[in-house]
Structure 1
């Protein structure tokens, strides 16, 4: 696979991945709301990893590659915090999926847990592609 020349802009690829992740999450929410037992509906606690993943995405997007390249400590710290938030949200989603959806307990489907894990896995990928695109566009000049 030749990575030197891309036919698609990194922002288009990242937007597609982010859109796919968002559709996956919304589908998981809709499926969870259709559960017969109201105790199995989606809760704020189950969506907390998704919110933290969005926070990490925003932190990463607003970090300038130029500042990181020039060694600005604040930019490096914000980028590091963004990655920590990404990692923490992915681990939290895995833990929630394991605790709430293992063996299905009284649930009909495990789709909401899988959707949450998929969302928290795809959003960091999307943010990384956007950040890489900003960095590679700066290297061209």
Structure 2
């Protein structure tokens, strides 16, 4: 079921219903290769949306992450200390190939880059008088700050 769901998402499915629809439209050879249950003599059967939902909700994400990490470690056990520069460069290129493909899927399947949310414009300049008034205060008993021209800034000494 995980392989089937992964293929559906890579093909553009954005919901559990879309995963089930993709599976229903998949050719029988793909369903067989992805482990769909076979009902003789009709062949493999695509799972219904409720089945997809129940199975995917039961998956422990941390356990799945550990299992994939262990599979990758067995597949490529070499450490970075043992690898030469050319091998490390090859791994980096391979990794970025995967990253680019994932980014493409996120752009096309989830339309991530088409967001029209724009940040609010920055606030205007803060009035100087709000933090350090240069005129005497109208409130009795409130001392006035020195004028801005009277404030000097020390310059750091030359190194």
TM-score by length of 2: 0.26
Higher relative contact order (CA 8 A, sep 6+): 1
- Structure number with the higher helix fraction is 1
Largest Rg, 1 or 2: 2
